[in-house]
Amino acid sequence: MSDDAPVRIASTMMLVREAPAVEVLMVKRNQAIDHFSGAMLFPGGKVEPSDLDPAWRAQVEGWDDIPESERGPRISAIRETFEECGILPAVQGYRTSPGDTRALRAAMDRGEASFLAHLQQQGLRPDLRSLSLFARWRTPPVVAKRFDTYFYLVQAPAEQVARADGRETIMVEWITAPAALDMAARGERTIVFPTRMNLSLLARAGSVADAIAAAAGRPARVVEPVVELHGDKRFLRLQAEDGYGPALEPLLF
């Protein structure tokens, strides 16, 4: 695989709550989806051209406080969370149910409705500053589909209820990070390497406030696993500076 393979910008949202332990919302991908099919992930996806519309400047809070390179990924993470789970984070006082927005979410998925237009019509202004950058991962050049993915952390709005969209996601689950990691280790959940590693970081936090503070205190870094050959098999290894501890993962594709 050439180093010239395109790298797509993506983002994912770690919605967290205390119940009373820290739980994170995970979604199960539809088996029919070609990327990460059947895996448990955080809601998210590729940054779309609509997430980069200049009109967002007037529709969000904190525009000038966020680096230009992160505005699209943050908007994308908010949009994808709404589409996949029916939850609208980063907006104070928003109350609705996934059932109320089912038709809208389906229309957005088909490209027939605009997330931006919906927020404009409802007078809703997400605060981009409420998202904490938790991590940023880039797939190595040997992988055919490369992504530069921003992981954001945000406290889940207590008054909203998550529900899968039924197409991309077929299940939603609130779960503690240690429980998710244990289930993955026992083969009861399929959780991909970057997600597992970020669950391991989240597992260190005793509260949502601890998780947010830890994210703010970590040096900005792009995690790009190193590919190593052991015998006739390839593995991904994280570097000590990545902050996850020792990790060696078989490269399966």
**pLDDT digit string (tens) for 191-226?**
999 999 999 999 999 999 999 999 999 998 999 999
Q: pLDDT per residue over 32-58, tens digit each? A: 454 444 589 999 999 999 999 999 999
Domains along the chain with CATH numbers: 7-220 (3.90.79.10)
For residue 147, which of 134, 157, 137 has the smallest C-alpha distance?
137
Residue 249 exposure: Cα atoms within 13 Å on the Cβ side: 21
Q: Which helix (H) or strand (E) holds 171?
A: strand 169-176
Longest CA pairwise span in the chain (Å): 59
Structure tokens at 213: 């503070």
Q: Are 170 and 39 in contact (CB under 8 A)?
A: no
Long-range contacts of 114-121 (CB under 8 A, 24+ apart): 114/50, 115/50, 115/79, 115/82, 115/83, 116/50, 116/53, 116/55, 116/56, 116/59, 119/59, 120/59
pLDDT at 24: 98
* Cβ-proximal residues to 124 (8 Å cutoff; 6+ apart), any chain: 88, 91, 94, 118
| Cα–Cα nearest to 102, from 121, 123, 86 | 86
Cis ω for the linkage preceding 20 (within 30 of 0): yes
Of the candidate ranges 21-35, 93-107, 126-140, the one whose mean pLDDT is the lowest: 21-35
- Local structure of 50: helix, strand or coil: helix
Q: What's the first-to-final CA gap in the chain, in angstroms?
A: 12
Q: Picking from 55-69, 87-101, 212-226, which range would have the lowest pLDDT averaged per residue?
A: 87-101
CB hemisphere CA count around 92 (13 angstroms): 6
191, 199 contact by CB (below 8 A): yes
What beta strand segments (E) does 186-251 contain?
A: 226-230, 233-237, 248-250
Rounded mean pLDDT, 14-35: 82
Q: Residues with Cβ < 8 Å from 116, sequence gap 6 or more?
A: 50, 53, 55, 56, 59
